[in-house]
Structure 1
Amino acid sequence: MSPASPNPSSAAAQCTLRLLSCNILAGASVQRYSDYFTRSVNAVLPGRAKLANLDSLAELLHEFDVVGLQEADAGSLRSGFLNQTRYIAEAAGMPYWSHQPNRPMARVAHSANGLLSRIEPTEVIDYPLPGRIKGRGALFVRFGHGSDALVVVIAHLSLGAAARMGQLGFIAELLAPYPHAVLMGDLNTEPVSAEMRHLFAKTALQPPRTSTPTFPSWKPRRALDHILTSADISLERTWTLPRAFSDHLPIAAQIRLPIALAQAAGAPLSD
């Protein structure tokens, strides 16, 4: 866990936390399907537009307590060798950040999962996820100690259903010892899929009450990005940010923790 510039926040009042999950596509902006082809050079080259996109995202993070990033570049040609997780953390004044580099492609691209937090984690562990094609990972974050610890897992899953089934099975085993859990990320599947039903059957995570489409960002039709919570964590609402920072819309959630859990996790409480 690496500290960014300290800037404590009182954004979370009482036992309420605001979470955000965002696939940032290494800072690239995609506004229509044709951009995948006409702007394909952006996938391998840095540029001012990418930094401006990251700056715009950072400006919105003042109201969030824990942020999970997917497809942040860990420092390669396409980002100008910039660690994008660190850049956003410092620009947003998030005191704690960590990242999980995966899928290096020479020095051209190096994707990562990222964590930004206003609460100090007790433990951060990188776990590689199973799959025929290696390179997917889950970032395991624990706040607090013992049975009252809050665990957050940030993940970016594969495109294939069979691979996702194995990856979600791995995450289910990872979360089994922890009754207070959040899973967030680009899971690349709808909440009613067979692999998601398997996840809900094996963990305390609850299916979302409503579907929140996030993809494609310019005309969202599919709910591929999720913030899932265990039964004892009240998921008060979920929503998407109106501004697209990639081909996925960021998904946000407001959760309410039991007092004992909030205290154990170090979440700020009101008087």
Structure 2
Amino acid sequence: MSTRRLRLLSANIQAGSSTRGYHDYVARSWSHVLPAGNKRNSLDTIAQLAGSHDIVGLNESDPGSLRSGFTNQTHYLAQRGGFDYWSHQPNRRVGGVASSANGLLSKLEPREVTDHPLPGRISGRGVLLARFGDGDDSLVIAVAHLSLGANSRASQLAFISELLHDHPHAVLMGDFNCSADRPEMKALFRNTRLQPPNGIVPTFPSWRPQRAIDHILVGDGLRTSNERALPAALSDHLALSLDLEVPEKALR
């Protein structure tokens, strides 16, 4: 069976803001609501990293609010990183001055892109779904940013399980805010063909990674290699990269 190798990246980019330690959450809190702090240089660094990949899932990409200078950061990264296709899913607005979105950058043309709001105690989370190829065995990429609370995550993962149920060539990537051994994650693995990660790759906090809370999960019809964490400029998360072997029929 002929396959194609794709390089995937999942990155929580923190809207281009800089966090170099826990003290910055307070000392630099202004950067999360104001268009300062050298965000454009940070985005250029992220674009350089993203550009060496074929498909990129983004979390906390500002779709165009005061703090980003009304720049759609997903579109900006697509242009700077050399991606012909991009899509975004605005999810949450903060006080009218900041906004956050899931984003998708791709060098392959998706046949279909849809987005879905996720359940949770507090609204503002979603999953972005892209299909590459036709038929039941096509490659499906889902990008999500899950809640901090375990109960909300459980309901969100149950919803995502319905979307990806019994799909051998599904990929779910993003900031899950939890490790893969949590009960809600084990339920996801039971109810889909997504597989637990092969190893533990800590991604948070970026300055001293201790928690593996960013994931790229793949269906049992796919094979991965070379999974590693990479700096996403000065975000508080490291980005997660891996190589994916995809059957050619899943892309047709």
- Cα distance in 2 for partners of 1:56, 1:83 equals 16
- 4+ aligned runs moved over 4 Å, structure 1: none
Aligned partner of 1:104 among 68, 93, 107: 93
For structure 1, the 5+ residue unaligned runs are 1-13, 265-271
CA contact (8 A) 1:244 1:250 kept: no
CA deviation map 1:167-217 (0-9, x unaligned): 000000010153310000001110100011000000000001101100000
Q: Partner residue of 1:201?
A: 190
CA contact (8 A) 1:57 1:245 kept: no
Q: CA deviation at 1:62?
A: 2.6
Q: CA deviation at 1:35?
A: 0.4
Q: CA deviation at 1:260?
A: 2.1
For structure 2, the 5+ residue unaligned runs are none
Q: CA deviation at 1:243?
A: 5.1
After superposition, the CA RMSD in angstroms is: 1.4
CA contact (8 A) 2:194 2:218 kept: yes
CA contact (8 A) 1:214 1:222 kept: yes
CA contact (8 A) 2:173 2:215 kept: yes
- Structure 1 length-normalised TM: 0.90
- What percentage of aligned pairs have identical amino acids? 54
- Equivalence map 1:109-258=2 (5 Å): 109-176=98-165, 178-242=167-231, 244-258=233-247
Q: Secondary structure at the match of 2:44?
A: helix
Paired residue type of 1:241: L
Aligned partner of 2:248 among 259, 263, 267: 259
CA deviation map 1:95-115 (0-9, x unaligned): 000000011224311100000
- Structure 2 length-normalised TM: 0.96
Distance 1:122 1:250, change over 3 A: same
Structure ranking higher in strand proportion? 2
Q: Alignment length, in residue pairs?
A: 251
Q: Partner residue of 2:82?
A: 93
CA deviation map 1:72-99 (0-9, x unaligned): 0011111111100001110111100000
